[in-house]
Amino acid sequence: MRIESMVKPRSVAIIGASRDPEKVGHIILQNYLNAGYSGKLYPVNKEADSILGIKAYPDISKIKEKVDLAVIAIPAKLVPGVMEECGKAGVKSVIVVSGGFAEVGETELQNKLASIAIKYGMPTLGPNCLGVMDPRSRVDTLFLPTYKLSRPQIGGVSFMAQSGAVGSTVLDMISGEGFGLSKFFSYGNAAHVDEVDILRYLAEDNDTKVIVMYLEGIKRGKEFLKAARETTNKKPVIVLKAGRTSAGMAAAHSHTAALAGDYQVHEAAFRQSGMTVANDLSELLNYAKIFETEPAPRGGNVAIITNGGGMGVLTTDAIASSKRLKLASFSDKTKASLRKTMPSLVNIRNPLDLAGDADGKRYSDAMDAIKDDENIDMLIVITLFQTPGADSTVASSIIRIKESFGKPLIALCAGASYTQMHKIMMESAGVPVYDSPSAAAASLEATLKYSMFKKQMPDEL
C-alpha cells in the first residue's frame, strides 16, 4: 500500500474546507497553516472564493495541478461521489475524517468507499478518523485545534491508533512527557488502509525508532502477525489492545465497527511475535520513552542509587518481584572507588543510599564509580528533590553520565512542581523519568525481554 503520499504530500486538497471556524474543514486547513506546511494547499468549497486567504475551488476537478492528498470532511452520504471525483482527477491518496459509516450501521456505504479506493488504486485512510500527523513534513490533518491539543516535538516514536480519542489523548500526553513523535496515524474504521499497511510502512521508515499502537480489532490476523514478526526484528513494537471483556468488545464494535476477538488469544500471539504488550495508557507511554532513548540491555543486573532509603527499599522490592531483573553486586573495584568518595555514613552496597544530604557532586561521584562495572547492566537513579541537597546540579549530573553510560539509565522521582521541573529538564535531555518503582522496573524488564527476544531471532525472516 503506497501511503507515503499521505505522510509527505507535496500538495493537499481539503474537501469541505469552510470559512466557519467551528467546522472541521476550517480547523484542518488552519492546522496546516499553523504547522508551517510548505506544500500547496487547495481548499475545496462550492460556496467560497477563498478561505483563510487561500484560493478555494468548487471541486477537485477544477484544480489544475496534481494533488497528492485529499482530506475529505463532508457528510458521509456525499463521500463516495467525491471519492469518484478524486479518482478521476488522479489524486494519489485520500483521508476520510467523516464519520457515519459502518460504526453506525452504514456498512454498505463504507463498502462503496472501499471499492472506489480499490478501483483507482488510491490508498484511503478512514473513514471516521483523525488522519495523519508528521512533525517533520508539517502534515496535520487532525481536526483538533492546537490550543486544545498540544503537538509533540519531533522524535523517534510513531503512534498508530484505531481510536481518534485515544490517539489524541496519547499525543497530548507525549507532548508533556519530553519525548518526541515521528508519525501519527488515526485510521478509524479501516475500510481500506488498515493496521497491517501502516505497520509495514513504519517498519521501513528510517525516522521511526519505536512503533506504538492502540488496537480495537484486527481484520487480517495472519498478515498482521507476520508483519509484526518482521517488524520486531528491526525495531520495538508496543501494543495496547482494547476489548479485554465482553462489554469492552461490544463497545469497540460500536465505536469503529471493529471485531475485537478473544483478548487472551490476541495477547499470546502478540508476545510470540515479539511485541511488547501494555496493559494501559501509562504503560504504553512508559515503554515508549525507554525504548526510544535507551540501548538494548545485555542482562538484568540492576544498580540502584538513591538519596532516600525508603524509596530504595521500594525499588528493591520492585526489582525482586520481577521475573527477569535482579540486584547487581558491585565489583571490588567499584566498592573501593566508592569508599574513597563517599562519606562514612554511606553503606557501600546495592541499593546505594547516598543519604538525605546528597548533592550533585555526591551523585556524580557515585555514578562515575559504577559506570564501568561489568556486573551492572542497568541503573536506576532515584532523586527525592524534596531533600536539601537535591537540586538542578543532581539533574545535570544524571544528564552528564547518561551521555556516556552506554547502558540503560533511568531516573525515578516523585513529587509536585519542583520535582516536575527537574523531570522535564532530564527528559528533554533524553533521560527517561518514572514516578514509581513499579513503573521503572516494568519498563526496564520490557526492554530486557525485547532484547532477549531479538537475540533468539534470525537476522532475516
Statement to judge: residues 392 and 415 lie in one domain: yes
Is residue 160 in some structural domain? yes
Please state the φ and ψ torsions of residue 41, each to the nearest 5 degrees: -115, 135
Statement to judge: residues 8 and 123 lie in one domain: yes
pLDDT of residue 303: 98
pLDDT by 10s per residue, the chain, length 461: 689 999 999 999 999 999 999 999 999 999 999 999 999 999 999 999 999 999 999 999 999 999 999 999 999 999 999 999 999 999 999 999 999 999 999 999 999 999 999 999 999 999 999 999 999 999 999 998 877 888 899 999 999 999 999 999 999 888 878 789 999 999 999 999 999 999 999 999 999 999 999 999 898 999 999 999 999 999 999 999 997 766 655 555 454 554 455 788 899 999 999 999 999 999 999 999 999 999 999 999 999 999 999 999 999 999 999 999 999 999 999 999 999 999 999 999 999 999 999 999 999 999 999 999 999 999 999 999 999 999 999 999 999 999 999 999 999 999 999 999 999 999 999 999 999 999 999 999 999 999 999 988 654 44
Give me the CATH number covering residue 382: 3.40.50.261
Cell of 52: 483563510
Statement to judge: residues 313 and 372 lie in one domain: yes
Is residue 205 in some structural domain? yes
Give 147: exposed, middle or buried? Use CB within 10 Å, 0-12, 13-18, 19+.
exposed
C-alpha dist (Å) from residue 243 to 226, 425, 452: 22, 37, 29
Is residue 135 in some structural domain? no
Among the three residues 293, 324, 359, which one is the final residue of a domain in this structure?
A: 293
Is residue 144 in some structural domain? no
pLDDT of residue 460: 45
Dist. CA 170–CA 435, nearest whole Å: 18
Among the three residues 293, 309, 341, which one is the final residue of a domain in this structure?
A: 293
Is residue 137 in some structural domain? no
Statement to judge: residues 316 and 278 lie in one domain: no
pLDDT of residue 231: 97
Is residue 140 in some structural domain? no
Statement to judge: residues 366 and 377 lie in one domain: yes
Statement to judge: residues 196 and 52 lie in one domain: no
Cell of 126: 478512514
Statement to judge: residues 83 and 50 lie in one domain: yes
Give me the CATH number covering residue 116: 3.40.50.720
Statement to judge: residues 310 and 282 lie in one domain: no
Among the three residues 293, 324, 344, which one is the final residue of a domain in this structure?
A: 293
Statement to judge: residues 168 and 250 lie in one domain: yes
Give the number of domains in the chain.
3
Statement to judge: residues 188 and 116 lie in one domain: no
Is residue 193 in some structural domain? yes
Is residue 141 in some structural domain? no
Residue 433 domain boundaries: 296-456
Statement to judge: residues 392 and 448 lie in one domain: yes
Statement to judge: residues 300 and 446 lie in one domain: yes
E strand or H helix at 314? helix 309-320
User: DSSP letters along 377-438, please?
Assistant: SEEEEE--TTSTT-SHHHHHHHHHHHHHH-S-EEEE---SHHHHHHHHHHHTTT--EESSHH
